[in-house]
Amino acid sequence: MDIGITITGAILIAICILPFVLMGRNSRKHEKLLFQSLSNIAAKQNCKITQHECCEEYIIGIDETSNFLFFFKRIKDKEISKQINLADIQSCKIVKTSRSSDNEKIDKLELSLLPSLKNKANIILELYNSDERMHLGDDFLLIERWAKKINELLKLNNQHVNQPV
């Protein structure tokens, strides 16, 4: 009787744990595919990703040596990829868009990169859009980290450029 209960309990525990194991495995596989796509984009610029972060359908990465930022997003059958030479960028800021007047529900989160040349348009990296995905997840924390990281790199690069030789 005790062996039967033990076996039944073990089977129930295995059935409860299995979905989480499979979700974790699929998530790692998905992240690997996104990283491979980002690495391929970087390789075309003769760059190598030194830092990156993933969030569901997109990945953002940087080659700190070459000073290039890379972005790749896959939504259903649509792919968006961007490579940005940070030497051509003046600053980076977060753009948060809300349709409602109380600004509680975020509809879009974007990184806006302001080019050094005044006649060029801002480069927009859309990290979150409520029309594509219901929940925000860690996107806000991720976008804050990357805006800070990019602005620090831009500041560091400007110091190197402005130093007398």
Residue 1 banded pLDDT, cuts 50, 70, 90: low
Residue 27 banded pLDDT, cuts 50, 70, 90: confident
Strand blocks (E) in 13-164? 51-55, 58-63, 68-75, 78-85, 89-97, 108-115, 123-129
The shares of helix, strand and coil residues in the chain, as percent rounded to the nearest 5, are 40, 30, 25
- Cβ–Cβ < 8 Å for 48, 63: yes
Percentage, residues of the chain above pLDDT 90: 41
Per-residue confidence (pLDDT) for residue 98, from 0 to 100: 83
Residue 144 banded pLDDT, cuts 50, 70, 90: very high
Residues 99-128, mean pLDDT to the nearest whole number:
86
Q: Indicate the pTM of the whole model.
A: 0.80
> What is the C-alpha to C-alpha distance for residues 106 and 108, in angstroms, rounded to an integer?
6
* pLDDT tens digits, one per residue of 40-56: 999 999 999 999 998 87
User: Which of 9-17's residues contact partners 24+ apart within 8 Å by CB, and which partners?
Assistant: none
* pLDDT tens digits, one per residue of 78-108: 889 999 999 999 999 999 988 766 667 888 8
Per-residue confidence (pLDDT) for residue 161, from 0 to 100: 57
Measured CA to CA in angstroms, residue 54 lies from 27, 134, 148 at distances of 10, 17, 17
Q: Hey, what domains does the chain have and what are their CATH numbers?
A: 2-162 (2.30.29)
